[in-house]
Structure 1
Amino acid sequence: MEHLKYLNVLTISFRNASELEKASRFNKSFSCAIEAVSLVDFRDSRSLTIVALANLQHLCTLTLSRCMDLEEVKIERNIIKGAGCFHSLRSVILDECNHLRDVSWVTFAPHLEVLRIAECNGLEEIISEETLGEVAELKGNSNLFSKLENLCLHNLAKLKTIYHHALPFPLLKKIRIVKCGMLKKLPLNSKSTKRQRLVIEGEEGWWKNVEWKDESTRIAFLPSFKPYVI
C-alpha cells in the first residue's frame, strides 16, 4: 500500500494498540492519507498513548467504540510542540468506553467542530483541571472549544462536569444532553455565545435542575432550550 502514490483518503479500523502503533510509523506519504480512524473493540490495554494518533497529521475523524478496558489517553509532553498535532481533527465520537475517566486530550484539537460522547458509564468530566494542570502549556488556554459547533452527550450516568469554568463558544450551534442526570452545571456565562443563537436540547426535568453561574446567565439561555424528543 505504501506504493499507492495517488492514494488520497484511507480509513482504517484498529482493534489493538500494536496495530495502531504500526500505522503511526508508516512513511510520511502514506500516513498523510489517513483521514479517519476507528478504534473498535479496543481491549488489550488500559491506556493509549496520544502520540500514536498525533502522528497522523491529516486525521479528520476519530471514533473510539466499545473500548471497554480503556481508562486514559496518555498525554506525552513531547507532542505538545509537535507540528500539526491534531490540527486537522474536526470530529471525535466516543461510544461505550465505560472506564474512560476524562477526554482532556481533545484540548489538542484546536479546530474540533463535533464532539459526541455516549454510553461511557465511567466518565466523570470532559476536561479535567487536574490533567490540564499537569501540562503547563495548556494552563490558561482560552481557545478551548473555540471552533466547536456541536456537542452531544448521551447516557453518561456519572458525568458531573464538562469544564469547571465558563468558556467562550463563538461558533457553538447545538448542545444535546440526554440522560446525564448528575450534570448540573454548564461551562456557560452570559457572554459565552454573544453572537450565536444556541440550541440546548435535553429533558425538561434536567433543564429545571441546571445550576446557573448567575441570574443573567439563566435569563440569557432560557430561550435556547428545546425539549429533546426521541
Structure 2
Amino acid sequence: METESKIMLPEDIQELELKDCHGLGSCLTEDVFLLLNIQRGGSSLTRCVVKDCEGMKCILKSSSFKNERRPLVRNNSLCPALQNLELLELIKLPSLVELCEWESICGATLPCGTLSCLKSFCIHSCPSMTKLFTLRLLQHLQNLEVINISSCYQLEEIVVDDQEECTTSTSTPSSSNSSSILPKLRKLSLDDLPKLSNFYEGTIFCDSIERVVIRYCPNLKRLPFFFPTVAGQLSPPPTLKVIEILELEREWWESLEWVDAGMQVVLQPFVRFHNRIIIVTPRI
C-alpha cells in the first residue's frame, strides 16, 4: 500500500534564502509557510533573501483574497509568518513588478502585523519595478530603519498613494497634501535610478534620519522630507549626521525643490560632496 509522501522541513527557521528558483511567480505564500511549519503561533523567521529568480513577479501573495470588495481577513496565514521578519533583500529579480500582490486590489487591507518588525529593506537590480511602496504598505513599516535602493532602472516612484486611486468620486483627497511617518528611519540610500522622478507626492516625517546617500538619480526633482520648527525656526533632526552627494552632481543638488524653501539652507551644513564612489551596506 502506497503512503502519501510529505515534505518535512525544520521548524523555527530563522533565515530563508531563495536563489536561482526560476519559474516561481511569487515566493512568500501561504503554501510556503505551511511547509516551513511557521504559520501558527508566530514565527522565528527574521531574515529573507531572494536572489536571481527569473519569473518572480511579486514577493508576498495571498491566495485567500477572492472578493475585490472585501478586505483581507485578519487571520491570513501570512500575517504571523511575517510578523518577526527584520531583513528583506531582493536582488536581481528581472520580472519583479510589485512587492505585495494583494495591494493591487482596491479596498484590500494588509493583514495586521505584516512586516511590522521589518528593520532593513534592500532592493537591487530589479529592472521591471516602476513603483516600490504603496502608502498602505508604508503604514505597516513603522520600525523600518534602513532603505537601500539601487540599479532599478525603470523605477519612477518610491511611494505611491494607492488609497487615492481607490476613492470614489464623492471622496477626493489630494495626495499632495498627504503625509506619512517613518519614525525610525536612520539610513536612506538611492543609487543608480535613472528614471526616478518622484519619491512621494506628499510629505514624509523622519525625525530619526542619520545618513542620506543619493547618487545617479538625475530626474529626481524633489525630496519629500519635512522637518519641524523649533522656536519658529526650521530645524533638522537632531540625529542627522551627513548627506552624501557626488561632486559631479552638485548642480543637481542645488536645483532640488523642497517642501519648505528654507530647508535646503538648513541642510547645507550636513552635505558632503565626494569624488569617490560611496558604498552603503543595507545590513544593520
CA contact (8 A) 2:157 2:199 kept: yes
Equivalent position of 2:16 in the other structure: 11
Shift of 1:199: 1.8
2:256 matched to which residue of 1? 210
Shift of 1:115: 0.5
Which one of the candidate residues 36, 43, 53 is aligned to 1:42?
53
Distance change (3 Å), C-alpha of 1:48 and 1:227: same
User: 2: CA distance between counterparts of 1:4 and 1:31?
Assistant: 15
Q: Distance in 2 between matches of 1:30 and 1:9?
A: 15
Match of 1:64 in 2: 90
The one-letter amino acid paired with 2:86 is C
Asked if the contact 2:17–2:49 (Cα under 8 Å) also holds between the matched residues in 1, the reply is yes
Quick one: distance in 2 between partners of 1:109 and 1:50? 18
Q: What is the match of residue 157 of structure 1? A: 194
Structure whose residues are more often helix by fraction: 1
* Uncovered stretches (5+) of structure 2, i.e. residues with no partner: 1-6, 64-77, 168-174, 229-234, 278-284
- Deviations 1:163-212 (CA, angstroms, capped at 9, x unpaired): 12232211011110011111121113452744333421112232222223
Equivalent residue for 1:178?
215
Do the aligned residues in 2 keep the contact of 1:117 with 1:153 (CA within 8 Å)?
yes
Paired residues of 2:27 and 2:58 also in contact (CA < 8 A)? no
* Aligned residue among 109, 127, 146 for 1:114: 146
Q: Residues 87 and 168 (structure 1 numbering): CA distance in 2 closer, same or farther, change over 3 Å? A: same
Aligned length: 225
Structure 1 unaligned blocks of 5 or more: none
The code of the aligned residue for 1:153 comes to L
Matches within 5 A, 1:14-163: 15=21, 16-17=24-25, 19-21=27-29, 22-25=31-34, 26-27=36-37, 28=39, 32-51=43-62, 54=79, 55-73=81-99, 74=101, 75=103, 78-80=108-110, 82-105=111-134, 106-107=137-138, 108-129=140-161, 131-134=162-165, 142-163=179-200
Moved more, 43-52 or 208-217: 43-52
CA distance in 2 between counterparts of 1:35 and 1:225 reads: 34
Query: Per the alignment, in what secondary structure is the counterpart of residue 126 of structure 1?
Result: strand
Query: Identity percentage over the alignment?
Result: 23
Which consecutive segments of 4 or more residues in structure 1 shift more than 6 A? Answer: none
- 1:12 maps to amino acid: E
Greater Cα shift, 7-16 or 35-44: 7-16
Q: Report the equivalent of 2:206.
A: 169
Contact 1:71 1:99 in 2 (8 A): yes
What CA distance in whole angstroms lies between the structure 1 residues aligned with 2:120 and 2:58?
21
Larger radius of gyration: 2
Question: TM-score normalized by structure 2?
Answer: 0.69
Moved more, 45-54 or 110-119: 45-54
Q: Which moved more, 1:110-119 or 1:14-23?
A: 14-23
Q: Does 1:188 align with 2:225?
A: yes
**How many Å apart are 1:56 and its aligned residue?**
2.1
Alignment TM-score, normalising by the size of structure 1: 0.83
Residue 222 of structure 1 is matched in structure 2 by 268
